[in-house]
Amino acid sequence: MRGARCRAALPRGTHDHRARGLRARIAQPARVPENPYPCELLLAVKVGKTPYVRFDLNDYTIPYTHVRRTLTVRADPRRVRILDGADLLATHERSYDRGAQIEIAAHIDALVARKREARHHRGLDHLARAAPASRTLMLHAAERGGNLGNITTHLLRLLDRYGPAELQAAIEETLASDAAPHPNPVRLALERRREARQAPPPVTLILPEHVRNKDTLVTPHRLEIYDQLAGDADEHA
Protein backbone atom coordinates (compact mmCIF):
# COMPACT_ATOMS: atom_id res chain seq x y z
CA MET A 1 0.00 0.00 0.00
CA ARG A 2 2.82 2.37 0.86
CA GLY A 3 4.52 1.77 -2.54
CA ALA A 4 1.22 2.35 -4.35
CA ARG A 5 0.64 5.61 -2.46
CA CYS A 6 4.21 6.78 -3.38
CA ARG A 7 3.67 6.00 -7.05
CA ALA A 8 0.38 7.77 -6.94
CA ALA A 9 2.04 10.83 -5.38
CA LEU A 10 4.47 11.19 -8.33
CA PRO A 11 3.58 13.71 -11.03
CA ARG A 12 1.87 12.33 -14.10
CA GLY A 13 4.25 11.34 -16.86
CA THR A 14 7.22 10.62 -14.56
CA HIS A 15 7.19 6.89 -15.32
CA ASP A 16 7.12 7.50 -19.08
CA HIS A 17 10.03 9.94 -18.79
CA ARG A 18 12.14 7.42 -16.90
CA ALA A 19 11.34 4.66 -19.38
CA ARG A 20 12.35 6.82 -22.35
CA GLY A 21 15.65 7.72 -20.64
CA LEU A 22 16.40 4.05 -19.97
CA ARG A 23 15.66 3.08 -23.58
CA ALA A 24 17.92 5.89 -24.83
CA ARG A 25 20.83 4.71 -22.67
CA ILE A 26 20.41 1.14 -23.86
CA ALA A 27 20.35 2.19 -27.52
CA GLN A 28 23.50 4.36 -27.16
CA PRO A 29 26.67 2.41 -28.12
CA ALA A 30 29.35 1.97 -25.45
CA ARG A 31 32.26 4.39 -25.68
CA VAL A 32 35.63 2.90 -26.55
CA PRO A 33 38.31 4.02 -24.06
CA GLU A 34 40.92 6.37 -25.47
CA ASN A 35 43.75 4.22 -24.04
CA PRO A 36 42.84 0.58 -24.66
CA TYR A 37 43.70 -1.94 -22.00
CA PRO A 38 47.07 -3.53 -22.82
CA CYS A 39 46.61 -7.11 -23.98
CA GLU A 40 50.18 -8.43 -24.31
CA LEU A 41 51.82 -11.71 -23.45
CA LEU A 42 54.82 -11.12 -21.19
CA LEU A 43 57.43 -13.87 -21.17
CA ALA A 44 61.04 -14.30 -19.96
CA VAL A 45 63.17 -16.21 -22.49
CA LYS A 46 66.70 -17.58 -22.12
CA VAL A 47 68.92 -16.98 -25.17
CA GLY A 48 71.64 -19.46 -26.09
CA LYS A 49 74.75 -19.02 -28.22
CA THR A 50 72.88 -18.00 -31.36
CA PRO A 51 71.23 -14.56 -31.65
CA TYR A 52 67.68 -15.89 -31.87
CA VAL A 53 64.81 -15.80 -29.40
CA ARG A 54 62.40 -18.74 -29.55
CA PHE A 55 58.77 -17.70 -29.14
CA ASP A 56 55.64 -19.57 -30.08
CA LEU A 57 57.57 -22.18 -32.15
CA ASN A 58 59.39 -19.50 -34.20
CA ASP A 59 62.81 -17.83 -33.92
CA TYR A 60 63.25 -14.05 -33.90
CA THR A 61 66.64 -12.36 -34.31
CA ILE A 62 68.29 -10.10 -31.77
CA PRO A 63 71.67 -8.29 -31.81
CA TYR A 64 74.52 -10.79 -31.31
CA THR A 65 75.75 -8.72 -28.36
CA HIS A 66 72.82 -9.96 -26.25
CA VAL A 67 73.27 -13.73 -26.42
CA ARG A 68 73.62 -15.98 -23.35
CA ARG A 69 71.23 -14.02 -21.16
CA THR A 70 67.56 -13.84 -20.20
CA LEU A 71 65.46 -11.38 -22.19
CA THR A 72 61.83 -10.33 -22.09
CA VAL A 73 59.32 -10.96 -24.88
CA ARG A 74 56.22 -8.77 -25.12
CA ALA A 75 53.87 -10.09 -27.78
CA ASP A 76 50.48 -9.00 -29.02
CA PRO A 77 48.51 -10.40 -31.97
CA ARG A 78 50.44 -8.22 -34.46
CA ARG A 79 54.01 -7.86 -33.26
CA VAL A 80 56.73 -9.32 -31.07
CA ARG A 81 58.98 -7.01 -29.10
CA ILE A 82 62.17 -8.20 -27.39
CA LEU A 83 63.65 -6.23 -24.50
CA ASP A 84 66.65 -6.39 -22.24
CA GLY A 85 65.31 -4.77 -19.11
CA ALA A 86 63.96 -1.42 -20.29
CA ASP A 87 66.00 -1.44 -23.54
CA LEU A 88 64.10 -2.39 -26.69
CA LEU A 89 66.31 -4.69 -28.79
CA ALA A 90 64.04 -5.69 -31.66
CA THR A 91 60.49 -5.37 -32.96
CA HIS A 92 59.23 -8.07 -35.33
CA GLU A 93 55.98 -8.72 -37.10
CA ARG A 94 54.48 -11.74 -35.37
CA SER A 95 54.51 -14.98 -37.30
CA TYR A 96 52.00 -17.77 -36.85
CA ASP A 97 54.04 -20.33 -38.78
CA ARG A 98 55.96 -23.22 -37.23
CA GLY A 99 59.77 -23.29 -37.27
CA ALA A 100 60.10 -19.98 -39.14
CA GLN A 101 63.06 -17.63 -38.73
CA ILE A 102 62.03 -14.00 -38.61
CA GLU A 103 65.13 -11.91 -39.20
CA ILE A 104 66.18 -8.29 -39.27
CA ALA A 105 68.87 -7.77 -41.91
CA ALA A 106 70.94 -5.49 -39.68
CA HIS A 107 71.23 -8.24 -37.06
CA ILE A 108 72.52 -10.76 -39.60
CA ASP A 109 74.94 -8.28 -41.22
CA ALA A 110 76.43 -7.36 -37.84
CA LEU A 111 76.88 -11.04 -36.95
CA VAL A 112 78.62 -11.81 -40.27
CA ALA A 113 80.96 -8.83 -39.82
CA ARG A 114 81.78 -9.94 -36.28
CA LYS A 115 82.64 -13.47 -37.40
CA ARG A 116 84.77 -12.14 -40.23
CA GLU A 117 86.66 -9.92 -37.80
CA ALA A 118 87.14 -12.83 -35.39
CA ARG A 119 88.58 -15.02 -38.18
CA HIS A 120 90.92 -12.18 -39.14
CA HIS A 121 92.24 -11.86 -35.59
CA ARG A 122 92.72 -15.62 -35.28
CA GLY A 123 94.65 -15.58 -38.55
CA LEU A 124 96.86 -12.73 -37.34
CA ASP A 125 97.63 -14.56 -34.09
CA HIS A 126 98.49 -17.78 -35.91
CA LEU A 127 100.68 -15.89 -38.38
CA ALA A 128 102.49 -13.98 -35.61
CA ARG A 129 103.30 -17.19 -33.74
CA ALA A 130 104.63 -18.91 -36.86
CA ALA A 131 106.53 -15.90 -38.29
CA PRO A 132 107.03 -13.08 -35.74
CA ALA A 133 108.37 -10.74 -38.45
CA SER A 134 104.85 -10.68 -39.91
CA ARG A 135 103.84 -8.25 -37.15
CA THR A 136 106.23 -5.63 -38.50
CA LEU A 137 105.08 -6.29 -42.06
CA MET A 138 101.44 -5.85 -41.06
CA LEU A 139 102.22 -2.60 -39.22
CA HIS A 140 103.89 -1.19 -42.33
CA ALA A 141 100.95 -2.33 -44.46
CA ALA A 142 98.49 -0.64 -42.08
CA GLU A 143 100.46 2.62 -42.27
CA ARG A 144 100.09 2.54 -46.05
CA GLY A 145 96.37 1.71 -45.89
CA GLY A 146 96.76 -1.86 -47.10
CA ASN A 147 94.01 -4.45 -46.95
CA LEU A 148 95.10 -6.36 -43.84
CA GLY A 149 92.53 -9.11 -44.28
CA ASN A 150 93.70 -9.85 -47.82
CA ILE A 151 97.37 -9.74 -46.80
CA THR A 152 96.73 -12.08 -43.89
CA THR A 153 94.95 -14.60 -46.11
CA HIS A 154 97.79 -14.69 -48.65
CA LEU A 155 100.51 -14.95 -46.00
CA LEU A 156 98.68 -17.86 -44.37
CA ARG A 157 98.63 -19.65 -47.73
CA LEU A 158 102.36 -19.07 -48.09
CA LEU A 159 102.83 -20.40 -44.55
CA ASP A 160 101.00 -23.60 -45.47
CA ARG A 161 103.11 -24.07 -48.61
CA TYR A 162 106.61 -23.12 -47.40
CA GLY A 163 106.51 -23.55 -43.62
CA PRO A 164 107.18 -21.12 -40.76
CA ALA A 165 110.99 -20.97 -41.01
CA GLU A 166 111.03 -20.08 -44.70
CA LEU A 167 108.20 -17.57 -44.33
CA GLN A 168 110.00 -15.85 -41.46
CA ALA A 169 113.20 -15.58 -43.50
CA ALA A 170 111.36 -14.30 -46.58
CA ILE A 171 109.52 -11.62 -44.58
CA GLU A 172 112.78 -10.48 -42.98
CA GLU A 173 114.33 -10.26 -46.46
CA THR A 174 111.36 -8.25 -47.72
CA LEU A 175 111.58 -5.82 -44.79
CA ALA A 176 115.35 -5.37 -45.27
CA SER A 177 114.93 -4.59 -48.98
CA ASP A 178 112.42 -1.78 -48.33
CA ALA A 179 109.98 -3.52 -50.68
CA ALA A 180 106.26 -2.86 -50.41
CA PRO A 181 104.66 -4.60 -47.39
CA HIS A 182 102.69 -6.96 -49.58
CA PRO A 183 102.55 -10.75 -50.06
CA ASN A 184 104.01 -10.54 -53.59
CA PRO A 185 107.58 -9.54 -52.53
CA VAL A 186 107.39 -12.23 -49.82
CA ARG A 187 106.37 -14.84 -52.38
CA LEU A 188 109.21 -13.80 -54.71
CA ALA A 189 111.69 -14.07 -51.83
CA LEU A 190 110.39 -17.55 -51.04
CA GLU A 191 110.82 -18.63 -54.65
CA ARG A 192 114.38 -17.23 -54.81
CA ARG A 193 115.30 -19.14 -51.68
CA ARG A 194 113.74 -22.33 -53.01
CA GLU A 195 115.60 -22.07 -56.33
CA ALA A 196 118.85 -21.38 -54.47
CA ARG A 197 118.36 -24.64 -52.57
CA GLN A 198 117.39 -26.38 -55.81
CA ALA A 199 114.28 -27.62 -54.05
CA PRO A 200 111.16 -28.74 -55.94
CA PRO A 201 108.11 -26.47 -55.92
CA PRO A 202 106.09 -26.90 -52.74
CA VAL A 203 102.85 -28.79 -52.83
CA THR A 204 99.93 -27.52 -50.78
CA LEU A 205 98.46 -30.23 -48.59
CA ILE A 206 94.81 -29.92 -47.68
CA LEU A 207 94.58 -31.52 -44.25
CA PRO A 208 91.61 -31.98 -41.93
CA GLU A 209 91.12 -29.28 -39.34
CA HIS A 210 92.06 -31.49 -36.39
CA VAL A 211 95.39 -32.28 -38.05
CA ARG A 212 96.06 -28.61 -38.88
CA ASN A 213 95.36 -27.67 -35.28
CA LYS A 214 97.45 -30.38 -33.63
CA ASP A 215 100.25 -27.87 -32.92
CA THR A 216 97.93 -25.25 -31.47
CA LEU A 217 99.51 -23.50 -28.52
CA VAL A 218 97.81 -24.49 -25.26
CA THR A 219 98.41 -22.40 -22.16
CA PRO A 220 98.85 -24.74 -19.17
CA HIS A 221 97.16 -23.95 -15.87
CA ARG A 222 98.99 -23.78 -12.57
CA LEU A 223 98.86 -27.10 -10.72
CA GLU A 224 98.33 -25.30 -7.41
CA ILE A 225 94.72 -24.68 -8.49
CA TYR A 226 93.99 -28.42 -8.45
CA ASP A 227 95.65 -28.79 -5.03
CA GLN A 228 93.46 -25.98 -3.74
CA LEU A 229 90.34 -27.64 -5.15
CA ALA A 230 91.32 -30.95 -3.56
CA GLY A 231 91.87 -29.22 -0.20
CA ASP A 232 88.45 -27.58 -0.36
CA ALA A 233 86.84 -30.93 -1.10
CA ASP A 234 88.54 -32.50 1.91
CA GLU A 235 87.28 -29.72 4.16
CA HIS A 236 83.67 -30.26 3.05
CA ALA A 237 83.93 -34.05 3.35
Are 124 and 151 found together in one domain?
yes
Are 96 and 174 found together in one domain?
no
Are 181 and 93 found together in one domain?
no
Are 208 and 191 found together in one domain?
yes
Instruction: Provide the residue type at 149 as one letter.
Output: G
d(CA 133, CA 118): 22
Could you tell me if 104 and 90 are in contact, meaning their C-beta atoms sit under 8 angstroms apart?
yes
Judge whether 24 lies within some domain.
Answer: no
Are 130 and 207 found together in one domain?
yes
Judge whether 167 lies within some domain.
Answer: yes
Judge whether 193 lies within some domain.
Answer: yes
Could you tell me if 126 and 135 are in contact, meaning their C-beta atoms sit under 8 angstroms apart?
no
If one counts the domains in the chain, the total is: 2
Q: Edge-to-edge strands of the sheet including 87-93?
A: 41-46, 70-75, 79-84, 87-93
Could you tell me if 72 and 47 are in contact, meaning their C-beta atoms sit under 8 angstroms apart?
no
Judge whether 97 lies within some domain.
Answer: yes
Judge whether 200 lies within some domain.
Answer: yes
Are 93 and 117 found together in one domain?
no
Per-residue pLDDT, 1: 47
Are 151 and 64 found together in one domain?
no
Are 94 and 140 found together in one domain?
no
Among the listed residues 73, 89, 75, 71, the one whose alpha carbon sits nearest the alpha carbon of residue 39: 75
Per-residue pLDDT, 39: 76
d(CA 157, CA 234): 52
Per-residue pLDDT, 227: 59
Judge whether 55 lies within some domain.
Answer: yes
Per-residue pLDDT, 225: 55
Q: Which helix (H) or strand (E) holds 70?
A: strand 70-75
Could you tell me if 71 and 63 are in contact, meaning their C-beta atoms sit under 8 angstroms apart?
no
In this structure, what are the phi and psi dihedrals at residue 214, rounded to the nearest 5 degrees?
-70, -25
Could you tell me if 120 and 148 are in contact, meaning their C-beta atoms sit under 8 angstroms apart?
yes
Are 99 and 118 found together in one domain?
no
Q: Which helix (H) or strand (E) holds 59?
A: strand 58-61
Q: Which domain holds residue 184?
A: 110-212
H-assigned helices in the chain = 2-9, 14-27, 105-130, 133-143, 148-162, 164-176, 183-196, 209-212, 224-236
Are 136 and 179 found together in one domain?
yes
d(CA 160, CA 228): 42
Judge whether 179 lies within some domain.
Answer: yes
Judge whether 143 lies within some domain.
Answer: yes
pLDDT tens-place values along the chain, 237 residues long: 454 454 555 455 555 666 666 666 666 666 666 666 667 899 999 999 999 999 999 999 999 999 999 999 999 999 999 999 999 999 999 999 999 999 999 999 888 888 878 877 888 888 889 899 999 998 988 888 888 888 988 998 999 889 899 999 999 999 999 888 999 999 999 999 988 888 888 876 666 666 656 655 555 555 665 555 555 555 555
